[in-house]
Structures are given as C-alpha cells and as structure tokens.
Homo-oligomer: A and B are copies of this chain.
Amino acid sequence: MNSSQSRPGGGTQLPSRRVASELRTAIASGDLPPGAKLPSERALAARYGVARNTAREAIRLLAEEGLVTAHHGKGVFVREKRRLLRFGSERYSHRLRKETGLSPYRAEVAKQGRTARVDCTSIERVRPPEDVAERLGVDPAEPSAVRRENWYYADDEPVQIGVTYIPWEIAEGSVLATSANMGKGSLYARFEELGHPITRIREEVSARMPTHEEAIGLSIPDGVPVVEVLHTGIDHLDRPFEVTRFVMRADLNGLDYTMPVED
C-alpha cells in the first residue's frame, strides 16, 4: 500500500519533504509571490501522487517555517512580509511624550505611518502574579494591585497584549484605578503627576510559542512565536511603580534598545 515511498530517510527525500521543497522553491523563485494561494491540499496530493495527509504534512512544515498561512475554508497563502514595529528604549522619553502627547505605543506606530488603536479591555483590583509582586514589592497574597489589560492594534490588526499592574497604594483614588482613558500624555503623565516620573526601565525579554488563547486572540499563524517582555517602570527614587507584561507577535514586532555601558 506504500510502495511509492522510496528509501525513507535515505538519500532521497520523504514525500512530504519533497512536496515541501518544491513549494519552497516556488515561493523563493517568485512563482508563488507573497499573498498567492497555494494549490489545495487535494490538488497537491493529486499532482504529486501522494495521500492528502502527506500534502498536508508538507504544508505544515512550511507553516512552521513561517512561509505560509492556512485560512480555514479559503486556502493556504504565501505569507506577506510584514513591516516590523520596533519598540526602543527611547519610546518612554519625556520629550517624545510632551511633544506628541502620545503614548509610547501610539508614537511608535505613528512614526511608521500606520494607524494605532488601543483597547483597554478591563480594569480590576487583583492579587498580582508572583513575578510581578516580586518586582513591585507588594504582597501577592493580597489584592495589592490594579490590573489593566490593553490590546494593541496596528491598522486594525492585533499585534500585542499588555497587562499592567500598579500598586493599589499608588493607583487608589486616581484615574489609574478607574478609567480606560488616560487623557493627554497617557499613563506616564499620570504617574508623573502622582510623584513617579519614569527615570529608568527594566525589561526582561524572552520568547516562546503562544498559548492557545494567545494564538486565537492575536490571530497568530502556526509557527510564529511570541516575544514576552516583563517591563518595570522605575522612578527617580528607584521605586518600581508599574509592571507590564507584554506579549507580542514575533513576526510583527521587534525591540530596539540603545543603552550606555556602565562603568
């Protein structure tokens, strides 16, 4: 039943690898330009004389490499090369904020000529996660923080999620604890008014595959990892006053830091 399988694992390629290779070549050569639709799984199976599952496996390999994306009911498409949003250390600069009145995110997206949208989807008082509590110096067993969840879009495409934790002690009684709209100058202007000008940031960066929920929420194609940034805002008295966990699509976002080397 499997007589067409030639020398598995040997000198010649497995059928699935072979199909993947041919498609990869077609993509690289431009025969299948970005945005183009691949032949259907059934068509590929027929063309290459393999079972549909094998053609499917070939497509899975390409998806894992980030070359193609499947759309249920529509087809499989060559992925477009996307512009990268680059978040740099200067995005928190006071000058930038005062000149534009924009949040760091909006400033970055605007700089690239794209349309930014930020949805604050929830604000609640919570017990912060361990790692956050540790960085804020608050008690993880108490409802010691305000949690603000934000979804970030560029041209109506979801690109990242940011969950900010603010010590209740700081947020209590201010718009930080109540209002989705931060007004002119955004979050960091409010912190400054409350006696916490941002003077130093710490960013802990890692990468991983998205959870199922993240993959759905950010419509992340197969084979695209996320970058996770645990960001801590620190004021002029070395007090951490805010921690945000950013999760962003690695294929649409990047980080760009410039910093002095200490003595």
Nearest CB of chain B from residue A61's CB, rounded to whole Å: 9
- Residues of A76-119 contacting chain B, CB below 8 A: 84, 86, 89-90, 92-95
Task: State how many residues of chain A have any CB contact under 8 Å with chain B.
Answer: 42
Say yes or no for A251: interface residue by CB 8 A criterion: yes
Which of A37-45, A147-155, A172-180, A194-202 is the contact stretch?
A194-202
- In the complex the two chains form, is B209's CB within 8 Å of A66's CB? yes
- In the complex the two chains form, is B93's CB within 8 Å of A263's CB? yes
Say yes or no for A157: interface residue by CB 8 A criterion: no
Copies of this chain held together in the complex = 2
- In the complex the two chains form, is B257's CB within 8 Å of A203's CB? yes
Closest to A86 in B: B204
Q: How far is A241 from B166 in the complex, measured between Cα atoms in Å?
A: 41
Tell me which residues across on chain B come within 8 A of A66, comparing CB atoms: 208-209
Closest to A203 in B: B257
Candidates B204, B223, B255; contact of A209 at CB < 8 Å: B223
- In the complex the two chains form, is B223's CB within 8 Å of A207's CB? no
Q: A200-B258, A227-B207, A257-B202 are in contact. Are A95 and B250 (CB under 8 A)?
A: no
A residues apposed to B, CB below 8 Å: 64-66, 84, 86, 89-90, 92-95, 198-209, 211, 223-227, 250-251, 253-263
List 4 tightest A-B contacts by C-beta distance, closest first.
Answer: A225-B225, A207-B207, A259-B259, A207-B250
